[in-house]
Structure 1
Amino acid sequence: MSGAAQVEIVEVGPRDGFQSIGPLIPTPTKIALIEQLHAAGIRRMETTSFVSASALPQLADAPAIVAAVARMPTLDSQVLVPTARHAERALAAGARHLSAVLSVSERHNMGNVRRTPMESVADYTQMVAMMPADASMRLNLATSFDCPHVGRIDRDAVLALLEPLVAASADVEIALCDTTGHADPAQVRGLFAAAADRFPQVRAWAFHGHDTYGLGAANVLAAWDVGIRIFDAAVAGLGGCPFAPGATGNVATEDLIWMFDHMGVETGIDLQKLVDAARAVAELPGAQVGGRVRQALGARACLAAS
């Protein structure tokens, strides 16, 4: 599709999705699913997270995952790190694309990493300083739209927190995250437009959304309308934040690929192979899945077979 508009999909199912599943997923199963997603054309993936094993035992195998994906040279594997200490662990394990996270909401940030947002800003500054020359950073700003404890987040609060974060480094990709899935298209469009206008020096912006109220794809399209071209999504709609009770999964990757394919936007991802991977993910014990395209294509296939 030469000359077509393009979008970059960041598959976050192996991190945001897997962390929400209760029964431990064997490491070889995780690696096999990551390989299946890669075979579908996904070239950027949040594969794991370096966090406390007692808090999220599902991700205790992070070093093994980093070692396995290192054998996939065409995969850009990013790993989530909530603190500088965990960033050190990730770098020591060989990770070279870190994804830092802090929350706009003080209550959410305290619940997540037991520190205030400004304390996390100081911690993030340490992360930026320790980054090797061959490594890159993404910054996830959680609860940019809504907090499970205090409700809707004021736009000015997001912009105010971005000031010291951008001052620490503008050479990062910043994702504004709808952690609870409460955002609406007008709010998404307005915040991204305001952030891009206030901080034109930021290298790139991304959107991370959940589908709690069925607006995941609509919010992605709203961000697209104001120039955002990087979107997080989770295969089969997996996801849910342990520190945001009631939040359901991320917007399903296959739903976004269906939408962008029909808009004539190039994704580089094979929808049928992706749906096959989504069906495998949906069979994981304890997986809570979402999305519509997987089910619609399955129903179409059953109708054709009959």
Structure 2
Amino acid sequence: MTGSLPMTIREDGLPERVTIYEVGPRDGLQNESTIVPLDVKAELVSRLVAAGLPIVEATSFVHPRWVPQLADAANLVTRLDLDGPTPLPVLVPNERGLDRAIDAGCRHIAVFASATEAFAAKNLNSGLESQFAMFEPTIRRAIDAGMDVRGYVSMCFGDPWEGPVAPEQVVRVGTRLLSLGVSQLSLGDTIGVGTVGHVGSLVDAFTGAGVGVERLAMHFHDTYGQALANTHAALRRGITTFDASAGGLGGCPYAKSATGNLATEDLVWMLDGLGIEHGVDLDALVSTSVWMADLLGRTSPSAVVRALGQSGD
């Protein structure tokens, strides 16, 4: 069935083009219990770039004890074209991670903040306010080194320990990161509890605080099957950057209720149906996710991969 395309029907008021920020090699693989070989990770990044993904987050310079899957980060980046036209960001948790990224020649990094006290304690060994003391020197040094810095904010819609998260609390964390110099905020529905009204409310809270939609990205999880509906709600608010993971891989090693990310293929299918440009070759992407699912020994969580990838790679 590869080659199938949805009927394209434009909807008034939606963006003409969006940027898909591919997180599969980092966020998609970080929760896998079986270590994926270095050669496979390098090929995954290369295949995603070849499929037209405009940004591919490659790995994370976290301590191997925290995320054993990404212990090979330094070796992986030596295999990648960090000076090529496709940005290959890496996540850095602190200054030590930044040092490793600088030594490796990385040019794009991301830092990872929490919108809640409980997750800051569990994920960052910090507090909601004290986390910024860790980020400030990391962001400042990265900018001084000529790097672009993205800021993730997790638990923006709900927290498994604290429950629903007020948009105003997320705005306080996000604007603090912006004031430190991050170029873009990725707002994460880490446990997938967001709904369309909540999405609109959160975006409105940021714009009401003077943050333009061009500074915001959305990072949805499909735990409750809401990721595409939430994406559409964000599109209607003018958001033009969306994080997604090839094949729907991913989760969070610190929050067991956080299941897979929005599948890149499912996002592409919806965008194609809306006539929104994205630059991604869907067939090449499906082929990559079928290949990856076969290596992991299971069926892809992505509905589009299952529908189009029956013939295999």
Aligned to 1:22: 33
Q: Deviations over 1:147-177 (max 9, x none)?
A: 12111111121122234323222x5111111
1:212 maps to 223
Query: Which residue of structure 2 aligns with residue 200 of structure 1?
Result: 211
The residue aligned with 1:250 is 261
8 Å contact kept, 1:144–1:177: yes
Whichever residue aligns with residue 189 of structure 2, its letter is D
| One-letter identity of the residue aligned with 2:29 | F
Report the identity percentage: 36
3-state secondary structure, aligned to 1:117: coil
Which residue is equivalent to 1:179?
190
Once the two structures are superposed, the pairs formed by residues 158-177 of structure 1 within 5 Å of their partners are 158-169=170-181, 172-177=183-188
Q: Which of residues 22, 27, 51 in structure 2 aligns to 1:40?
A: 51
Which consecutive residues of structure 2, in runs of 5 or more, have no partner in the other structure?
Answer: 1-14
* Alpha-carbon separation, structure 2, partners of 1:66 and 1:251: 25
* CA shift for structure 1 position 189: 1.3
User: 1:157 and 1:234 mapped to 2: Cα distance?
Assistant: 27
**Closer/same/farther in 2, CA of residues 61 and 225 from structure 1, 3 Å limit:** same
Helix, strand or coil for the counterpart of 2:273? helix
Q: Distance in 1 between matches of 2:102 and 2:145?
A: 12
Residue pair 2:300, 2:306 contacting (<8 A) in 1 also: no
- Any residues of structure 2 matched to 1:95-244 within 5 Å, and which? 95-131=106-142, 132-169=144-181, 172-200=183-211, 204-244=215-255
Q: Per-residue CA shift, 1:205-262, capped at 9, x if unaligned?
A: 1001101011111111111110110000001100010111121110000000011011
Aligned residue pairs total: 297
Q: Quote the Cα distance in structure 2 between the aligned partners of 1:288 and 1:154.
A: 36
Distance 1:32 1:94 in 2: 20
Q: For residues 276 and 94 of structure 1, what CA distance do their matches in structure 2 show?
A: 30
Which residue pairs with 2:17 in the alignment? Answer: 6
| Corresponding residue SS for 1:279 | helix
1:58 partner letter:
Q
Residues 106-129 of structure 1, C-alpha deviations (whole Å, 9 max, x = no match): 111111110112121122111221
Contact between 2:174 and 2:185, CA under 8 Å: does it hold in 1?
no
User: Which letter does structure 2 place at the counterpart of 1:14?
Assistant: P
Tell me by how many angstroms 1:268 deviates.
Answer: 0.4
Question: d(CA) in 2 for partners of 1:125 and 1:160?
Answer: 15
Trace 1:68-107 onto structure 2 (pairs within 5 A): 68-70=79-81, 73-107=84-118
Give the letter aligned to residue 65 of structure 1: L
Alignment partners' CA distance in 2, 1:167 and 1:297: 44
2 CA distance for matches of 1:112 and 1:56?
A: 11
> Match for 2:161: what amino acid?
H
Q: TM-score, normalised by structure 1?
A: 0.92
Secondary structure in 2 aligned to 1:241? Answer: coil
Higher mean C-alpha displacement, 174-183 vs 79-88:
79-88
Give the 3 Å change call, closer, same or farther, for CA 20–75 of structure 1 in structure 2. same
Contact 2:221/2:227 (8 A) holds in 1: yes
2:277 is aligned to: 266
CA 1:54–1:200: 2 relative to 1, 3 Å: closer
Q: Deviations over 1:15-67 (max 9, x none)?
A: 01111111111101111111111111112011100101011111011112222
Q: Distance in 1 between matches of 2:115 and 2:192?
A: 15
Instruction: Please report the TM-score for the alignment, with normalisation by the length of structure 2.
Output: 0.90
**Which among 290, 293, 296 is matched to residue 301 of structure 2?**
290
Gap change, CA 1:163 and 1:75, over 3 Å in 2: closer
